Structure 1
Amino acid sequence: MESFELELDKFWMHEVSTKAWGIQDSLNFAVPYIRDMGADITKIGIEPDFLPYEAALALKKHLPGTELVNCQRPLELLRSIKTSRELEMIKKASDDVVHSMLAVVAAHGPGATKHQLVSALAAEEIKRGLSYEYCLITAGTSLNRAPSDYVLKQGDIVSIDSGGQLGGYIGDLCRMAIVGEPDAEQEDLIAEVDAIQTAARGAIQAGVSGKEIYTAANAQIARSPNAKYVDFVAHGLGLVTHETPRLAPSGYPYDNPDAERPLEPGMVISVEAAIKHPRVGFIKLEDTLAIELDGSVKAYGDFGRGWTRFGG
Protein backbone atom coordinates (compact mmCIF):
# COMPACT_ATOMS: atom_id res chain seq x y z
CA MET A 1 0.00 0.00 0.00
CA GLU A 2 2.99 2.32 0.52
CA SER A 3 3.37 2.64 -3.26
CA PHE A 4 0.77 5.41 -3.12
CA GLU A 5 2.66 7.14 -0.32
CA LEU A 6 5.84 6.87 -2.38
CA GLU A 7 4.11 8.65 -5.26
CA LEU A 8 3.17 11.43 -2.83
CA ASP A 9 6.82 11.76 -1.74
CA LYS A 10 6.01 10.88 1.86
CA PHE A 11 9.21 8.94 2.67
CA TRP A 12 12.49 10.37 3.92
CA MET A 13 14.46 7.12 3.38
CA HIS A 14 16.81 6.95 0.40
CA GLU A 15 15.81 3.39 -0.47
CA VAL A 16 12.21 2.19 -0.36
CA SER A 17 10.72 -1.12 -1.49
CA THR A 18 6.97 -1.30 -2.03
CA LYS A 19 6.88 -4.93 -3.17
CA ALA A 20 6.44 -6.45 0.27
CA TRP A 21 3.11 -7.50 1.76
CA GLY A 22 3.22 -8.31 5.45
CA ILE A 23 6.07 -9.07 7.84
CA GLN A 24 7.58 -12.09 6.08
CA ASP A 25 7.71 -10.33 2.72
CA SER A 26 9.31 -7.32 4.37
CA LEU A 27 11.97 -9.51 5.95
CA ASN A 28 12.75 -11.04 2.56
CA PHE A 29 13.93 -7.57 1.57
CA ALA A 30 15.34 -6.46 4.92
CA VAL A 31 17.62 -9.44 5.62
CA PRO A 32 19.58 -9.29 2.30
CA TYR A 33 19.76 -5.49 2.66
CA ILE A 34 21.43 -5.85 6.05
CA ARG A 35 23.75 -8.62 4.84
CA ASP A 36 24.90 -6.47 1.93
CA MET A 37 25.98 -3.77 4.35
CA GLY A 38 28.93 -5.91 5.41
CA ALA A 39 29.84 -9.07 7.25
CA ASP A 40 31.18 -7.16 10.25
CA ILE A 41 27.72 -6.06 11.45
CA THR A 42 27.18 -7.49 14.93
CA LYS A 43 24.45 -5.20 16.25
CA ILE A 44 21.16 -4.04 14.79
CA GLY A 45 19.49 -1.02 16.35
CA ILE A 46 15.74 -1.30 16.79
CA GLU A 47 12.87 0.63 18.34
CA PRO A 48 11.13 -2.18 20.27
CA ASP A 49 7.81 -0.32 20.40
CA PHE A 50 7.58 -0.55 16.59
CA LEU A 51 9.15 -3.93 15.78
CA PRO A 52 6.69 -6.85 15.65
CA TYR A 53 7.71 -9.85 17.74
CA GLU A 54 7.58 -12.10 14.66
CA ALA A 55 10.03 -9.80 12.88
CA ALA A 56 12.44 -9.83 15.82
CA LEU A 57 12.45 -13.65 15.88
CA ALA A 58 13.06 -13.80 12.14
CA LEU A 59 15.95 -11.32 12.28
CA LYS A 60 17.64 -13.39 14.97
CA LYS A 61 17.10 -16.59 12.95
CA HIS A 62 18.32 -15.30 9.58
CA LEU A 63 21.13 -13.12 10.93
CA PRO A 64 22.79 -15.38 13.51
CA GLY A 65 25.49 -13.77 15.57
CA THR A 66 23.85 -10.34 15.50
CA GLU A 67 22.34 -8.65 18.55
CA LEU A 68 19.15 -6.58 18.52
CA VAL A 69 19.85 -3.42 20.54
CA ASN A 70 17.26 -0.94 21.82
CA CYS A 71 18.25 2.33 20.11
CA GLN A 72 15.11 4.35 20.82
CA ARG A 73 17.07 6.82 22.94
CA PRO A 74 19.84 7.60 20.41
CA LEU A 75 17.26 7.88 17.63
CA GLU A 76 15.26 10.34 19.74
CA LEU A 77 18.39 12.37 20.36
CA LEU A 78 19.14 12.40 16.64
CA ARG A 79 15.59 13.54 15.89
CA SER A 80 15.89 16.35 18.44
CA ILE A 81 18.47 18.08 16.22
CA LYS A 82 16.69 19.49 13.19
CA THR A 83 18.21 20.36 9.84
CA SER A 84 17.65 23.81 8.32
CA ARG A 85 14.90 22.33 6.14
CA GLU A 86 13.16 20.82 9.15
CA LEU A 87 13.36 24.13 10.99
CA GLU A 88 11.81 25.86 7.99
CA MET A 89 8.92 23.38 8.03
CA ILE A 90 8.25 23.94 11.73
CA LYS A 91 8.43 27.70 11.28
CA LYS A 92 5.94 27.69 8.42
CA ALA A 93 3.61 25.33 10.31
CA SER A 94 3.80 27.58 13.40
CA ASP A 95 3.19 30.78 11.43
CA ASP A 96 0.25 29.27 9.57
CA VAL A 97 -1.39 27.89 12.72
CA VAL A 98 -1.41 31.38 14.24
CA HIS A 99 -2.54 33.01 10.97
CA SER A 100 -5.41 30.49 10.92
CA MET A 101 -6.40 31.35 14.50
CA LEU A 102 -6.42 35.08 13.79
CA ALA A 103 -8.48 34.58 10.62
CA VAL A 104 -11.11 32.60 12.53
CA VAL A 105 -11.34 35.18 15.32
CA ALA A 106 -11.64 38.02 12.81
CA ALA A 107 -14.50 36.27 10.97
CA HIS A 108 -16.59 35.29 14.02
CA GLY A 109 -18.28 36.87 16.99
CA PRO A 110 -21.19 36.50 19.41
CA GLY A 111 -23.51 33.63 18.45
CA ALA A 112 -20.74 31.34 17.17
CA THR A 113 -20.32 28.00 18.91
CA LYS A 114 -17.08 26.34 19.94
CA HIS A 115 -17.80 23.61 17.36
CA GLN A 116 -18.10 26.25 14.63
CA LEU A 117 -14.85 27.91 15.66
CA VAL A 118 -12.99 24.59 15.58
CA SER A 119 -14.44 23.64 12.19
CA ALA A 120 -13.47 27.03 10.79
CA LEU A 121 -9.96 26.67 12.22
CA ALA A 122 -9.52 23.26 10.60
CA ALA A 123 -10.59 24.75 7.26
CA GLU A 124 -8.17 27.67 7.62
CA GLU A 125 -5.24 25.37 8.43
CA ILE A 126 -6.04 23.09 5.49
CA LYS A 127 -6.36 26.14 3.21
CA ARG A 128 -2.79 27.06 4.16
CA GLY A 129 -1.47 23.61 3.27
CA LEU A 130 -1.44 22.12 6.77
CA SER A 131 -2.89 18.85 7.96
CA TYR A 132 -5.23 19.80 10.80
CA GLU A 133 -4.35 17.87 13.96
CA TYR A 134 -6.45 19.11 16.87
CA CYS A 135 -7.88 22.09 18.71
CA LEU A 136 -8.38 22.49 22.46
CA ILE A 137 -10.70 25.42 23.07
CA THR A 138 -12.22 27.09 26.13
CA ALA A 139 -14.88 29.80 26.20
CA GLY A 140 -16.18 32.08 28.92
CA THR A 141 -15.21 31.15 32.47
CA SER A 142 -15.20 27.41 31.77
CA LEU A 143 -11.94 25.44 31.97
CA ASN A 144 -13.35 22.72 29.69
CA ARG A 145 -11.28 22.57 26.51
CA ALA A 146 -13.51 20.23 24.49
CA PRO A 147 -15.38 21.62 21.45
CA SER A 148 -19.08 21.95 22.23
CA ASP A 149 -22.28 23.79 21.34
CA TYR A 150 -21.48 26.55 23.81
CA VAL A 151 -22.50 29.88 22.22
CA LEU A 152 -20.17 32.87 22.48
CA LYS A 153 -21.58 35.96 24.13
CA GLN A 154 -20.32 39.47 24.79
CA GLY A 155 -17.40 39.53 27.21
CA ASP A 156 -16.38 35.88 26.73
CA ILE A 157 -12.71 35.00 26.61
CA VAL A 158 -11.54 32.13 24.39
CA SER A 159 -8.28 30.18 24.39
CA ILE A 160 -7.39 28.41 21.15
CA ASP A 161 -4.67 25.74 21.39
CA SER A 162 -4.13 24.01 18.06
CA GLY A 163 -1.70 21.83 16.18
CA GLY A 164 -1.27 21.71 12.42
CA GLN A 165 1.18 19.52 10.55
CA LEU A 166 3.31 20.39 7.53
CA GLY A 167 5.21 17.55 5.90
CA GLY A 168 5.14 15.63 9.15
CA TYR A 169 6.28 18.56 11.34
CA ILE A 170 4.02 20.12 13.95
CA GLY A 171 3.10 23.71 14.63
CA ASP A 172 1.61 23.80 18.15
CA LEU A 173 0.64 27.14 19.72
CA CYS A 174 -2.02 28.75 21.88
CA ARG A 175 -3.48 32.24 21.61
CA MET A 176 -6.21 34.21 23.42
CA ALA A 177 -9.23 36.06 22.06
CA ILE A 178 -12.11 38.04 23.55
CA VAL A 179 -15.58 39.13 22.52
CA GLY A 180 -15.40 42.85 23.20
CA GLU A 181 -12.68 44.54 25.24
CA PRO A 182 -10.63 43.04 28.08
CA ASP A 183 -11.06 44.52 31.55
CA ALA A 184 -8.16 45.43 33.84
CA GLU A 185 -8.10 42.02 35.54
CA GLN A 186 -7.99 40.18 32.23
CA GLU A 187 -5.15 42.42 31.06
CA ASP A 188 -3.27 41.69 34.28
CA LEU A 189 -3.77 37.94 33.93
CA ILE A 190 -2.48 37.72 30.38
CA ALA A 191 0.45 39.91 31.44
CA GLU A 192 1.22 37.39 34.22
CA VAL A 193 1.19 34.54 31.72
CA ASP A 194 3.36 36.54 29.34
CA ALA A 195 5.88 37.26 32.12
CA ILE A 196 6.23 33.52 32.81
CA GLN A 197 6.64 32.84 29.11
CA THR A 198 9.22 35.62 28.77
CA ALA A 199 11.26 34.24 31.67
CA ALA A 200 11.22 30.72 30.22
CA ARG A 201 12.04 31.93 26.73
CA GLY A 202 14.99 33.92 28.03
CA ALA A 203 16.58 30.76 29.42
CA ILE A 204 16.66 29.00 26.05
CA GLN A 205 20.20 29.13 24.70
CA ALA A 206 22.64 26.67 23.18
CA GLY A 207 24.87 25.21 25.88
CA VAL A 208 22.44 25.91 28.74
CA SER A 209 20.99 22.87 30.50
CA GLY A 210 17.32 22.24 29.80
CA LYS A 211 16.36 22.47 33.47
CA GLU A 212 17.19 26.18 33.44
CA ILE A 213 13.96 26.78 31.51
CA TYR A 214 12.02 25.48 34.51
CA THR A 215 14.25 27.35 36.97
CA ALA A 216 13.50 30.65 35.21
CA ALA A 217 9.78 29.94 34.80
CA ASN A 218 9.33 28.78 38.42
CA ALA A 219 11.05 31.90 39.76
CA GLN A 220 8.57 34.04 37.85
CA ILE A 221 5.61 31.85 38.86
CA ALA A 222 6.57 32.36 42.52
CA ARG A 223 6.10 36.12 41.99
CA SER A 224 2.68 35.69 40.39
CA PRO A 225 -0.38 36.69 42.47
CA ASN A 226 -2.13 33.67 40.91
CA ALA A 227 0.71 31.16 41.33
CA LYS A 228 -1.62 28.49 42.73
CA TYR A 229 -3.58 28.49 39.46
CA VAL A 230 -0.56 28.29 37.13
CA ASP A 231 0.40 25.35 34.94
CA PHE A 232 3.72 25.41 33.08
CA VAL A 233 5.47 22.91 30.83
CA ALA A 234 8.39 23.00 28.39
CA HIS A 235 8.94 20.22 25.87
CA GLY A 236 10.64 19.36 22.62
CA LEU A 237 8.68 19.75 19.39
CA GLY A 238 9.08 18.30 15.92
CA LEU A 239 7.51 15.21 14.40
CA VAL A 240 5.23 14.98 17.45
CA THR A 241 4.06 17.57 19.96
CA HIS A 242 6.10 16.18 22.86
CA GLU A 243 9.49 14.82 21.84
CA THR A 244 13.13 15.05 22.91
CA PRO A 245 14.41 17.11 24.65
CA ARG A 246 12.24 15.87 27.52
CA LEU A 247 12.44 18.42 30.30
CA ALA A 248 9.31 18.17 32.46
CA PRO A 249 9.91 17.40 36.15
CA SER A 250 8.98 14.09 37.74
CA GLY A 251 5.27 13.42 37.88
CA TYR A 252 4.73 14.22 34.21
CA PRO A 253 3.63 11.28 32.00
CA TYR A 254 7.24 10.78 30.84
CA ASP A 255 10.71 11.03 32.37
CA ASN A 256 13.00 14.05 31.96
CA PRO A 257 16.37 12.57 30.89
CA ASP A 258 17.34 15.78 29.07
CA ALA A 259 16.95 18.21 31.99
CA GLU A 260 20.67 18.00 32.77
CA ARG A 261 21.79 17.96 29.14
CA PRO A 262 22.79 21.18 27.37
CA LEU A 263 20.43 22.51 24.74
CA GLU A 264 21.89 22.31 21.23
CA PRO A 265 21.53 24.14 17.91
CA GLY A 266 18.74 22.54 15.91
CA MET A 267 16.49 21.92 18.92
CA VAL A 268 12.92 23.24 19.02
CA ILE A 269 11.28 23.93 22.39
CA SER A 270 7.64 24.64 23.15
CA VAL A 271 6.93 26.62 26.32
CA GLU A 272 3.38 26.91 27.59
CA ALA A 273 1.96 28.67 30.62
CA ALA A 274 -1.67 28.84 31.69
CA ILE A 275 -3.61 30.41 34.53
CA LYS A 276 -6.70 28.35 35.27
CA HIS A 277 -8.59 31.02 37.14
CA PRO A 278 -11.77 29.64 38.75
CA ARG A 279 -13.65 32.91 38.28
CA VAL A 280 -12.15 34.50 35.16
CA GLY A 281 -11.43 31.38 33.07
CA PHE A 282 -8.58 29.74 31.18
CA ILE A 283 -5.79 32.06 30.02
CA LYS A 284 -2.87 30.48 28.19
CA LEU A 285 0.00 31.24 25.82
CA GLU A 286 2.08 28.60 24.08
CA ASP A 287 5.14 29.65 22.09
CA THR A 288 7.67 27.84 19.90
CA LEU A 289 11.39 28.65 20.25
CA ALA A 290 14.04 27.28 17.92
CA ILE A 291 17.78 27.31 18.46
CA GLU A 292 18.93 27.93 14.92
CA LEU A 293 21.99 26.16 13.54
CA ASP A 294 24.07 29.32 14.03
CA GLY A 295 23.13 29.34 17.74
CA SER A 296 20.65 32.22 17.55
CA VAL A 297 17.22 31.73 19.13
CA LYS A 298 14.11 32.56 17.13
CA ALA A 299 10.42 32.41 18.00
CA TYR A 300 8.13 30.93 15.36
CA GLY A 301 4.53 32.12 14.97
CA ASP A 302 5.40 34.88 17.41
CA PHE A 303 2.44 37.20 16.88
CA GLY A 304 -1.15 37.54 18.09
CA ARG A 305 0.05 37.03 21.67
CA GLY A 306 -2.22 39.63 23.31
CA TRP A 307 -6.00 39.83 23.42
CA THR A 308 -7.30 39.40 19.87
CA ARG A 309 -10.81 40.82 19.36
CA PHE A 310 -13.52 38.74 17.72
CA GLY A 311 -14.88 40.36 14.61
CA GLY A 312 -11.59 42.08 13.87
Structure 2
Amino acid sequence: MVELKTATEIDAMKRVGRVVADALAAARAHAGIGVSLLDLDAVAAKVIADAGAAPVFLDYHPNWAPFPFPGVICASVNDAVVHGIPSDYRLRDGDLVSIDCGAKLDGWCGDAAISFVVGTAASADEALVAATDEALRRGIAAAQPGNRLGDVGAAIGDYARDQGYGLLADHGGHGIGRVMHESPDVPNEARAGRGMRLRPGLVLAIEPMLIADGSDDYRHGADGWTLQTITGARAAHSEHSVAITDDGPVVLTAQH
Protein backbone atom coordinates (compact mmCIF):
# COMPACT_ATOMS: atom_id res chain seq x y z
CA MET A 1 0.00 0.00 0.00
CA VAL A 2 1.33 3.43 -1.00
CA GLU A 3 0.83 6.13 1.63
CA LEU A 4 0.60 9.79 0.60
CA LYS A 5 1.83 12.28 3.18
CA THR A 6 0.26 15.62 4.05
CA ALA A 7 2.23 18.86 3.99
CA THR A 8 2.46 18.73 7.80
CA GLU A 9 3.80 15.17 7.68
CA ILE A 10 6.35 16.13 5.03
CA ASP A 11 7.54 18.93 7.31
CA ALA A 12 8.00 16.35 10.07
CA MET A 13 10.02 14.22 7.66
CA LYS A 14 12.20 17.24 6.91
CA ARG A 15 13.10 17.41 10.58
CA VAL A 16 14.30 13.82 10.74
CA GLY A 17 15.91 14.29 7.33
CA ARG A 18 18.09 17.05 8.77
CA VAL A 19 19.16 14.71 11.58
CA VAL A 20 20.27 12.12 9.01
CA ALA A 21 22.09 14.79 6.98
CA ASP A 22 23.88 16.04 10.08
CA ALA A 23 24.91 12.51 11.08
CA LEU A 24 26.34 11.85 7.62
CA ALA A 25 28.18 15.17 7.59
CA ALA A 26 29.67 14.48 11.01
CA ALA A 27 30.83 11.00 10.00
CA ARG A 28 32.38 12.34 6.83
CA ALA A 29 34.17 15.13 8.69
CA HIS A 30 35.56 12.61 11.18
CA ALA A 31 36.73 10.16 8.53
CA GLY A 32 40.44 10.05 7.88
CA ILE A 33 43.42 7.77 7.52
CA GLY A 34 43.63 5.54 10.60
CA VAL A 35 40.04 6.18 11.73
CA SER A 36 37.99 3.02 12.24
CA LEU A 37 34.53 2.36 10.86
CA LEU A 38 33.36 1.87 14.45
CA ASP A 39 34.55 5.41 15.18
CA LEU A 40 32.35 6.72 12.36
CA ASP A 41 29.43 4.69 13.69
CA ALA A 42 29.86 6.26 17.13
CA VAL A 43 29.98 9.77 15.68
CA ALA A 44 26.73 9.24 13.76
CA ALA A 45 25.10 7.59 16.80
CA LYS A 46 25.86 10.64 18.95
CA VAL A 47 24.37 13.07 16.44
CA ILE A 48 21.19 11.00 16.23
CA ALA A 49 20.89 10.61 20.00
CA ASP A 50 21.60 14.30 20.67
CA ALA A 51 18.73 15.19 18.32
CA GLY A 52 16.34 13.00 20.30
CA ALA A 53 16.02 10.61 17.36
CA ALA A 54 16.58 6.86 17.11
CA PRO A 55 18.68 4.89 14.60
CA VAL A 56 16.58 2.72 12.30
CA PHE A 57 19.34 0.48 10.96
CA LEU A 58 20.36 -0.80 14.40
CA ASP A 59 18.77 -4.23 15.01
CA TYR A 60 17.00 -4.17 11.63
CA HIS A 61 16.53 -7.82 10.61
CA PRO A 62 15.17 -8.58 7.13
CA ASN A 63 14.35 -12.21 6.44
CA TRP A 64 17.43 -12.76 4.25
CA ALA A 65 19.93 -11.55 6.86
CA PRO A 66 21.62 -14.02 9.25
CA PHE A 67 21.29 -11.70 12.28
CA PRO A 68 20.04 -8.20 13.15
CA PHE A 69 22.18 -5.36 11.81
CA PRO A 70 24.61 -4.36 14.57
CA GLY A 71 25.40 -0.78 13.54
CA VAL A 72 23.86 2.68 13.37
CA ILE A 73 25.32 3.27 9.90
CA CYS A 74 26.19 1.02 7.00
CA ALA A 75 29.87 1.59 6.20
CA SER A 76 30.94 0.03 2.89
CA VAL A 77 34.55 0.32 1.67
CA ASN A 78 35.98 -0.08 -1.84
CA ASP A 79 34.37 -3.19 -3.43
CA ALA A 80 31.59 -3.24 -0.81
CA VAL A 81 28.54 -1.64 -2.40
CA VAL A 82 26.05 -1.47 0.48
CA HIS A 83 25.15 -2.95 3.89
CA GLY A 84 28.70 -2.94 5.22
CA ILE A 85 28.87 -3.56 8.98
CA PRO A 86 30.93 -0.99 10.94
CA SER A 87 34.04 -2.77 12.21
CA ASP A 88 37.47 -2.05 13.64
CA TYR A 89 38.84 -1.70 10.09
CA ARG A 90 40.93 1.47 9.96
CA LEU A 91 40.66 3.61 6.86
CA ARG A 92 43.63 3.76 4.52
CA ASP A 93 44.78 6.38 2.07
CA GLY A 94 42.64 6.16 -1.07
CA ASP A 95 39.79 4.12 0.39
CA LEU A 96 36.40 4.76 -1.20
CA VAL A 97 33.81 4.87 1.58
CA SER A 98 30.02 4.74 1.28
CA ILE A 99 28.01 5.59 4.39
CA ASP A 100 24.26 4.96 4.58
CA CYS A 101 22.32 6.31 7.56
CA GLY A 102 18.72 6.23 8.74
CA ALA A 103 16.93 7.72 11.74
CA LYS A 104 13.43 8.05 13.18
CA LEU A 105 12.02 11.11 14.94
CA ASP A 106 8.44 11.74 16.09
CA GLY A 107 7.30 8.64 14.23
CA TRP A 108 8.89 9.50 10.85
CA CYS A 109 11.95 8.06 9.10
CA GLY A 110 14.74 9.57 7.03
CA ASP A 111 17.32 7.71 4.93
CA ALA A 112 20.32 9.00 2.96
CA ALA A 113 23.79 7.96 1.82
CA ILE A 114 27.05 9.54 0.68
CA SER A 115 30.28 8.31 -0.87
CA PHE A 116 33.73 9.89 -0.64
CA VAL A 117 37.43 9.05 -0.80
CA VAL A 118 39.75 9.22 2.20
CA GLY A 119 43.09 10.89 1.63
CA THR A 120 44.49 10.91 -1.89
CA ALA A 121 41.78 10.03 -4.41
CA ALA A 122 42.41 8.19 -7.67
CA SER A 123 40.84 10.00 -10.60
CA ALA A 124 38.70 6.95 -11.42
CA ASP A 125 37.26 6.98 -7.90
CA GLU A 126 36.54 10.71 -8.06
CA ALA A 127 34.73 10.15 -11.36
CA LEU A 128 32.71 7.25 -9.93
CA VAL A 129 31.56 9.27 -6.91
CA ALA A 130 30.71 12.26 -9.10
CA ALA A 131 28.74 10.07 -11.50
CA THR A 132 26.81 8.47 -8.64
CA ASP A 133 25.92 11.90 -7.27
CA GLU A 134 24.88 13.04 -10.75
CA ALA A 135 22.74 9.94 -11.26
CA LEU A 136 20.97 10.78 -8.01
CA ARG A 137 20.49 14.39 -9.10
CA ARG A 138 18.95 13.23 -12.36
CA GLY A 139 16.69 10.75 -10.60
CA ILE A 140 15.46 13.47 -8.26
CA ALA A 141 14.88 15.87 -11.17
CA ALA A 142 12.70 13.22 -12.84
CA ALA A 143 10.55 12.81 -9.72
CA GLN A 144 7.98 15.35 -10.90
CA PRO A 145 4.26 15.07 -10.16
CA GLY A 146 2.58 13.38 -13.09
CA ASN A 147 5.73 11.51 -14.13
CA ARG A 148 6.08 7.78 -13.52
CA LEU A 149 8.47 5.63 -11.52
CA GLY A 150 10.00 4.47 -14.77
CA ASP A 151 11.04 8.05 -15.52
CA VAL A 152 13.12 8.08 -12.33
CA GLY A 153 14.71 4.72 -13.16
CA ALA A 154 15.40 5.78 -16.74
CA ALA A 155 17.03 9.02 -15.63
CA ILE A 156 19.38 7.12 -13.32
CA GLY A 157 20.02 4.05 -15.43
CA ASP A 158 20.44 5.71 -18.81
CA TYR A 159 23.02 8.11 -17.40
CA ALA A 160 24.94 5.41 -15.51
CA ARG A 161 25.09 3.13 -18.56
CA ASP A 162 26.12 5.99 -20.84
CA GLN A 163 29.05 6.66 -18.50
CA GLY A 164 30.07 2.98 -18.58
CA TYR A 165 29.07 2.10 -15.03
CA GLY A 166 27.19 -0.91 -13.71
CA LEU A 167 24.15 -0.83 -11.45
CA LEU A 168 23.83 -3.14 -8.46
CA ALA A 169 21.49 -5.91 -9.58
CA ASP A 170 18.13 -6.39 -7.85
CA HIS A 171 18.50 -3.28 -5.68
CA GLY A 172 17.06 0.21 -5.81
CA GLY A 173 15.20 2.76 -3.75
CA HIS A 174 11.93 2.56 -1.86
CA GLY A 175 9.09 4.47 -0.36
CA ILE A 176 9.70 5.84 3.10
CA GLY A 177 7.54 7.25 5.88
CA ARG A 178 6.49 5.78 9.21
CA VAL A 179 8.78 2.83 8.47
CA MET A 180 12.07 2.82 6.61
CA HIS A 181 10.93 0.64 3.72
CA GLU A 182 7.49 1.31 2.28
CA SER A 183 5.95 0.76 -1.13
CA PRO A 184 6.72 1.43 -3.89
CA ASP A 185 10.05 -0.01 -5.01
CA VAL A 186 12.06 2.62 -6.90
CA PRO A 187 14.11 1.11 -9.76
CA ASN A 188 17.55 2.37 -10.73
CA GLU A 189 16.95 1.21 -14.30
CA ALA A 190 13.61 1.27 -16.10
CA ARG A 191 11.75 2.39 -19.20
CA ALA A 192 10.53 5.97 -19.19
CA GLY A 193 6.77 6.38 -19.12
CA ARG A 194 6.20 3.07 -17.31
CA GLY A 195 5.20 2.28 -13.75
CA MET A 196 3.20 4.01 -11.07
CA ARG A 197 2.33 7.66 -11.58
CA LEU A 198 3.99 10.01 -9.12
CA ARG A 199 1.53 11.99 -7.01
CA PRO A 200 2.05 14.82 -4.53
CA GLY A 201 2.51 13.40 -1.04
CA LEU A 202 4.55 10.42 -2.17
CA VAL A 203 7.95 10.21 -0.43
CA LEU A 204 10.73 8.15 -2.00
CA ALA A 205 14.25 7.17 -1.02
CA ILE A 206 16.11 7.41 -4.34
CA GLU A 207 19.50 5.67 -4.26
CA PRO A 208 21.72 4.86 -7.24
CA MET A 209 24.47 2.32 -6.56
CA LEU A 210 27.10 2.40 -9.33
CA ILE A 211 29.89 -0.11 -10.00
CA ALA A 212 33.09 1.10 -11.64
CA ASP A 213 33.73 -1.62 -14.22
CA GLY A 214 30.22 -1.82 -15.68
CA SER A 215 29.29 -5.06 -13.93
CA ASP A 216 26.04 -5.51 -12.01
CA ASP A 217 26.44 -8.76 -10.06
CA TYR A 218 27.27 -9.03 -6.39
CA ARG A 219 28.01 -11.57 -3.69
CA HIS A 220 27.31 -11.63 0.03
CA GLY A 221 30.39 -11.09 2.15
CA ALA A 222 31.44 -13.45 4.91
CA ASP A 223 29.34 -11.50 7.44
CA GLY A 224 26.15 -12.31 5.51
CA TRP A 225 25.23 -8.61 5.25
CA THR A 226 27.77 -6.81 3.08
CA LEU A 227 27.13 -6.86 -0.67
CA GLN A 228 30.39 -6.88 -2.62
CA THR A 229 31.11 -6.66 -6.32
CA ILE A 230 31.91 -10.00 -7.96
CA THR A 231 34.89 -8.58 -9.83
CA GLY A 232 36.41 -6.59 -6.97
CA ALA A 233 35.55 -3.34 -8.73
CA ARG A 234 34.89 -0.31 -6.58
CA ALA A 235 31.38 1.00 -6.03
CA ALA A 236 29.63 4.14 -4.81
CA HIS A 237 26.22 4.85 -3.29
CA SER A 238 24.31 8.13 -3.08
CA GLU A 239 20.82 8.60 -1.62
CA HIS A 240 18.26 11.18 -0.56
CA SER A 241 14.73 10.97 0.80
CA VAL A 242 12.59 13.03 -1.58
CA ALA A 243 8.99 14.27 -1.35
CA ILE A 244 6.87 14.69 -4.48
CA THR A 245 5.00 17.99 -4.18
CA ASP A 246 2.83 20.14 -6.45
CA ASP A 247 5.89 22.32 -6.95
CA GLY A 248 8.21 19.43 -7.81
CA PRO A 249 10.59 17.20 -5.84
CA VAL A 250 11.81 18.38 -2.43
CA VAL A 251 14.91 16.81 -0.88
CA LEU A 252 14.19 16.05 2.78
CA THR A 253 17.68 14.88 3.77
CA ALA A 254 19.65 17.96 2.71
CA GLN A 255 21.83 19.61 5.33
CA HIS A 256 20.81 23.17 6.30
Same-fold status (TM-score > 0.5): yes
The 1:212/1:150 distance shift into structure 2, 3 A limit, reads same
C-alpha displacement of 1:156: 1.8
- Matched residue of 1:222: which SS? helix
The 1:87/1:224 distance shift into structure 2, 3 A limit, reads same
Taking structure 2 as the reference length, the TM-score comes to: 0.75
The 1:133/1:101 distance shift into structure 2, 3 A limit, reads same
Q: Deviations over 1:208-239 (max 9, x none)?
A: 22222123222223212123667762321111
Contact 1:232 1:272 in 2 (8 A): no
The 1:168/1:202 distance shift into structure 2, 3 A limit, reads same
Question: Does 2:88 correspond to 1:149?
Answer: yes
2:234 corresponds, among 261, 266, 281, to 281
1:239 corresponds, among 178, 187, 200, to 178
> How many residues are paired up?
218
C-alpha displacement of 1:141: 4.5
Q: Distance in 2 between matches of 1:189 and 1:100?
A: 23
1:300 corresponds in structure 2 to 252
Q: Distance in 2 between matches of 1:179 and 1:260?
A: 39
1:171 corresponds in structure 2 to 110
110-119 or 124-133, larger mean C-alpha shift: 110-119
1:262 corresponds, among 188, 197, 214, to 197
1:95 corresponds in structure 2 to 18
The CA RMSD over aligned residues, in Å, is: 2.6
The 1:231/1:184 distance shift into structure 2, 3 A limit, reads farther
2:45 corresponds, among 118, 122, 145, to 122
- Matched residue of 1:159: which SS? strand
1:291 corresponds in structure 2 to 244
C-alpha displacement of 1:202: 2.0
Q: Deviations over 1:181-214 (max 9, x none)?
A: 4231112111221232222222211122222212
Q: Distance in 2 between matches of 1:109 and 1:96?
A: 22
2:226 corresponds in structure 1 to none
Alignment-mate amino acid for residue 219 of structure 1:
D
Question: Can you give the 5+ residue segments of structure 2 that lack an aligned partner in the other structure?
Answer: 58-72, 189-193, 213-230
Question: Does 2:162 correspond to 1:223?
Answer: yes
The 1:197/1:113 distance shift into structure 2, 3 A limit, reads same
- Matched residue of 2:153: which SS? helix
Contact 2:34 2:91 in 1 (8 A): yes
Q: Which has the larger radius of gyration?
A: 1
Alignment of 1:61-100 (within 5 A): 76-77=1-2, 80-100=3-23
- Matched residue of 1:188: which SS? helix
1:210 corresponds in structure 2 to 149
C-alpha displacement of 1:140: 4.3
Contact 1:113 1:150 in 2 (8 A): yes
- Matched residue of 1:291: which SS? strand
Q: Distance in 1 between matches of 2:111 and 2:54?
A: 12
Q: Percent identity?
A: 25
Q: Distance in 2 between matches of 1:218 and 1:111?
A: 35
Alignment-mate amino acid for residue 266 of structure 1:
G
2:217 corresponds in structure 1 to none
Which structure ranks higher in relative contact order (CA pairs < 8 Å, sequence separation ≥ 6)? 2
- Matched residue of 1:150: which SS? coil
C-alpha displacement of 1:271: 0.9
1:183 corresponds in structure 2 to 122
The 1:301/1:155 distance shift into structure 2, 3 A limit, reads same
C-alpha displacement of 1:263: 1.1
C-alpha displacement of 1:160: 0.7
2:76 corresponds in structure 1 to 138
- Matched residue of 1:101: which SS? helix
Q: Distance in 1 between matches of 2:44 and 2:249?
A: 28
